[in-house]
Amino acid sequence: MTKPDLLMTGPMMQTIQDQLAQRFTLHKLWEAADKEALLRQLAPSVVAFASGSHVSCDPALMGRFPGLKIVSSFGVGYDHVDAAWAGQNGIVVTNTPDVLNEEVADTALGLLLCTMRQFPQTDRYLRAGKWLEKPYPLTGTLRDRKVGILGLGRIGKAIARRLEAFGLPVVYHGRSAQPDVAYRYYPSLVEMARDVNVLMIVAPGGAATSKIVNREVLEALGPDGVVINVGRGTVIDEAALVEALRKKTILSAGLDVFEDEPRVPAELIAMDHIVLFPHVGSASVHTRNAMAQLVVDNLVSWADGKGPLTPVSETPWPPTM
């Protein structure tokens, strides 16, 4: 039996490559000396993509493959894939939801604790021999904090459960209230920011959320306010955040995601009162393996005629159109 042609748009975990090579004829775009020639050669035959966030799956790329039927993307966020266009063109897009909820929620709480209690800075202080001179200065605290979650979805709820265990009140903002959720809902992000002193961002990227955490929201958060972002860098107006941190109109920030990764603004890197992680929310061996398996399982289930396992909302399965 001939194997269907699959294009891998950029390097992916070895286990994904090994498993997919058993079921598909795997073409690795990043290894091609002449990428344009490979794209031209494969245009008539490719039916599937496996994709990370390194290459944008836009209409210009997907549109070159008239037989393309599925894009299996690594990660729960899929802002690098034009899923609306895919849906309109009979292509199903899959992501890797749920298997990373607890890991990313752990990271969010770790980042919040590091930011409030300055743990990375205390480590640097000890290693620099400064403890021999005097104790580390007293820090801020999680006590008396109220957390507003922007994006109370799968990961947001896992974060909220942890915050409850820490004894912190939780409220949330999204496009709509969730009837089965007991936390207070704010239809207005600015109003929520005014009522909390931690803004926990775990909303997706893309046009609808671009820079929604803007100067007005940061001003509403106020001088005791802390921003934690494990969603997408594009959700924050990064220039406004830098200005707020520089002018101390907010207290601090803990950031796992940035507007133009892996480039991080020099102004942020120079600030010692904030905490920066290199997008490690889901980055444990355990969780990355689970995500990898879901990328493979989606493609294999689809190729077996059983349908994709986790299609995104823009491309429901079976297709409705």
Tokens 């974060």 locate to 159
Helix, strand or coil, per DSSP, at residue 146: coil
264: tokens are: 């991080």
Type of residue at 109 = L
Q: Which of 256, 244, 273 is nearest to 117 (CA)?
A: 273
Question: CB-wise, 7 or 83, nearer to ligand NAP?
Answer: 83
80 classed as catalytic: no
What's the residue count for the chain? 321
155 contributes a contact to ligand NAP by CB under 6 A: yes
- Binding partner of 53, given ligand 8YV, ligand NAP, none, CB within 5-8 angstroms per partner class: ligand 8YV
From residue 90 to residue 119, the character string flagging contacts with ligand 8YV as x (rule: CB under 6 A) and all else as - is: ----------x-------------------
Nearest-5° Cα angle at 236, 235 to 238: 135
DSSP structure class, residue 213: B
Q: Which residue has the tokens 């689809």?
A: 302
- 22, 69, 72 from 17: Cα distances, Å: 9, 19, 13
Provide the minimum distance between the beta carbon of 236 and ligand NAP in the complex, in angstroms, as a whole number: 12
87 binds, among ligand 8YV, ligand NAP, none (CB under 5 to 8 A by kind): none
Asked if residue 317 lies in contact with residue 307, where contact means CB atoms within 8 angstroms, the answer is yes
Residue 104 interacting with ligand NAP (CB under 6 A): yes
Active site residue 263: no
- Least distance between ligand NAP and beta carbon 38 (Å): 30
User: What three-state secondary structure class fits 74?
Assistant: coil
Per CB under 6 A, which of residues 43..62 are in contact with ligand NAP? Answer: none
Size of interface with ligand NAP, in residues (CB under 6 A):
28
By CB under 6 A, is residue 76 in contact with ligand 8YV? Answer: yes
- List residues bridging with 288 in a β-sheet: none
Within 209-228, the residues that bind ligand NAP by CB under 6 A are 209
Rounded least distance, CB 79 to ligand 8YV, Å: 8
CA separation (Å) from 197 to 18, 116, 146, 183, 320?
A: 47, 11, 6, 16, 43
97 binds, among ligand 8YV, ligand NAP, none (CB under 5 to 8 A by kind): ligand NAP
- Which residues are known to be catalytic? 232, 261, 279
**In the complex, which residues of this chain contact ligand NAP (CB under 6 A)?**
76-77, 97, 100, 104, 151-156, 174-176, 202-205, 208-209, 230-232, 256-257, 279, 281-282
**In the complex, which residues of this chain contact ligand 8YV (CB under 6 A)?**
52-53, 74-77, 100, 279, 281-282
